[in-house]
Amino acid sequence: MTADPDMLAAELAMGLLEGEERATALRRTLSDPAFAREVEWWRTHLAELLVEYPHATPPADLIASIGAPVARRWFHRPLYPVALAAAAAAAVFVVSRPGPVAPPPVTAPATVGLIAALAAPDGSAAPVAAVIDRASGDIRIAGTDIAPAGKVAELWVIHDGTPRALGLLTRNAATRLAVPAAERVALKPGSVLAISIEPIGGSPQSTPTGPVVATGPLVEA
Amino acid sequence: MTHPLPDPYDARVAICELLQRVGVADRVALGDLYRLTSSALFGICLRICRERSAAEDVLHEVFQLIWKRADSFVPTAAHPMSWLGTIARNRSIDWVRSYGARPTRPLEEAGQVADGDPDQLAVMERSEQAQRLYDCLDQLEPQQRDALRTAFFDGLTYAQLAEVKGIPEPTVRSWARRGLHRLRGCVDDR
């Protein structure tokens, strides 16, 4: 009997994987653009089957709180490198939208934080610790000299197979990154944090362009 | 999933327009979008999460995401419900991977996806791309097709699929991989 074909991209899109297998596949979406495209191919095609799910009636008032003023903090989202391409269009939206009228909710549940140890796949460098304060959404990440001269280290979160830029790391000093609410949903146990090496200013596109030098799954602190 | 509006083309246009308005923070549009799409999306959440309260939490999260990401929605050849449904399925799978409902647990309320002949109206309305996928699924060995359909619709891992089917996991993996491989080749060739 011949070996089974490698269908990792399809298995990830199907949702068949869990644990370390899933984390490995998610990491590969970061480091291997062809693999990421293959995952997308499967997502797009499998979506054709979604019409078969029978409908079910949800509560009518479920989304009453969505978009209420307290939820609007995310309009403050800073311009991350990935957003630069869309900056002009985004700026139009930002100025045309009503400004935030209330401070962030103070009723955030007393959630524990999340931590990750970002390690090089070959163990060549000391792991870099990252701590996420779930209430504020801030990430603190230890200082590292992982980026060579003339390059920067960029932090990503991989969730649903999609990398999202979180920000650039300060060389040899701890970095604190405010995470926009839109990205915060990706910061949950099982998501993977990753550091890639990018040109000064960060990746010019929405995915890493340089090598991924360290990764680690988020776990409850 | 039946179509939320009588005419599928109208429904598609309406959903695209609503998404564009949600993208500029129009809450009225979000309410309209919810009325139009939530029962389809809730069906997905309920089937995968298997618990009404969990499915409601996930659906809330889905609409929060739609509210935040609608401005990144780009109308394409794909139906906008594919975009929304994929979000609902992925969030539901995230939920079960984190808080895990067991597959052996009986379904609380979620409807079953019919295994028999599909609704003829739904067949007529299939896009060319969808028809190609269904044609290729039809060419798989029944056990391969059945394993893939069960895993997809219930959002199962290999281990759960093996448990549900009462078949050793290596066998299930082999069926699924060979089926997916064949499906990939078939869809591309046509």
DSSP secondary structure of A50-110: GGGSPP-PPPTTTTTTTT-GGGGGGGG----GGGGGGHHHHHHHHHHSPPP-SPPPS----
Chain A partners of B90 at a C-beta cutoff of 8 Å? 15, 160
Q: With cut-offs at 50, 70 and 90, classify the pLDDT of residue B30.
A: very high
Q: With cut-offs at 50, 70 and 90, classify the pLDDT of residue B35.
A: very high
Q: What is the pLDDT of residue B157?
A: 95
Q: Which of B24, B32, B34 to mutate to test the interface with A (most CBs of A within 10 A)?
A: B34
Chain A partners of B159 at a C-beta cutoff of 8 Å? 18
- Provide mean pLDDT across the span B101-111: 47
pLDDT beyond 80 at B107: no
What's the domain count of chain A? 2
Q: A119 and A39: one domain?
A: no
- Provide mean pLDDT across the span B14-25: 91
Q: What ipTM goes with this model?
A: 0.86
pLDDT beyond 80 at B119: no
Boundaries of domain holding A20 = 8-52
Distances (CA, A) of B176 to A16, A28, B184: 9, 21, 12
Regions in chain A scoring below 70 on pLDDT: 1, 68-112, 121-125
Chain B nearest C-alpha distance from A121 (Å): 24
Please tell me which of the candidates A53, A58, A181 has its beta carbon nearest to residue B1.
A53
Q: What is the pLDDT of residue A172?
A: 79
Instruction: Name the residue among A19, A28, B99 with its Cα closest to residue A6.
Output: A28
Half-sphere exposure of B9 (CA within 13 A, CB side): 0
Chain A nearest C-alpha distance from B106 (Å): 17
Fold of B113-190: Arc Repressor Mutant, subunit A (1.10.10)
CA dihedral B26, B32, B33, B35 (to 10 degrees): 150
Contact A11/B177, CB-based, under 8 Å?
yes
Q: Hey, is the C-beta of A7 within 8 angstroms of any chain B C-beta?
A: yes
Q: With cut-offs at 50, 70 and 90, classify the pLDDT of residue B32.
A: very high
Q: What is the pLDDT of residue B77?
A: 61
Polymer length in residues for chain B? 190
- Secondary-structure class of domain B1-111 per CATH: mainly alpha
DSSP B46: H
- Provide mean pLDDT across the span B123-131: 75
Q: What is the pLDDT of residue B6?
A: 54
Q: Look up residue A175 and give its two tokens.
A: 């970095």
In chain B, alpha helices (H) = 8-23, 27-49, 52-69, 80-99, 120-124, 128-138, 142-154, 158-165, 169-189
Contact predicate A13/A145, CB 8 Å: no
Q: What is the pLDDT of residue B113?
A: 56
- List, for residues A123-163, the tens digit of each pLDDT value: 666 778 888 887 777 888 888 888 888 888 889 888 877 78
A198: in domain? yes
Identity of the residue numbered B118: P
A29: in domain? yes
Contact A66/B63, CB-based, under 8 Å?
yes
User: What is the spatial distance between Cα B86 and Cα B73, in angstroms, rounded to a whole number?
Assistant: 13
Residue indicated by tokens 């509006």: B5
A59: in domain? no
A120: in domain? yes
DSSP B5: S
User: What is the spatial distance between Cα B49 and Cα B56, in angstroms, rounded to a whole number?
Assistant: 9
From the number of C-beta atoms within 10 Å of its C-beta (0-12, 13-18, 19+), residue B72 rates as exposed
Q: A210 and A130: one domain?
A: yes
Q: What is the pLDDT of residue B190?
A: 60
Q: Look up residue A158 and give its two tokens.
A: 């991989």
Q: What is the pLDDT of residue B29?
A: 94
- Provide mean pLDDT across the span B93-109: 64
Contact B1/A52, CB-based, under 8 Å?
yes
Tell me the domain boundaries of chain B. 1-111, 113-190
Residue A121: give its domain's CATH number: 2.60.40
A108: in domain? no
Q: What is the pLDDT of residue B76?
A: 67
Contact A47/B64, CB-based, under 8 Å?
no
Chain A nearest C-alpha distance from B70 (Å): 11
Least confident segment among A22-26, A41-45, B9-13, B102-106: B102-106
Last residue of a domain, one of A37, A52, A67: A52
Contact B159/A54, CB-based, under 8 Å?
no
Chain B nearest C-alpha distance from A69 (Å): 11
Q: What is the pLDDT of residue B34?
A: 96
Q: What is the pLDDT of residue B122?
A: 59
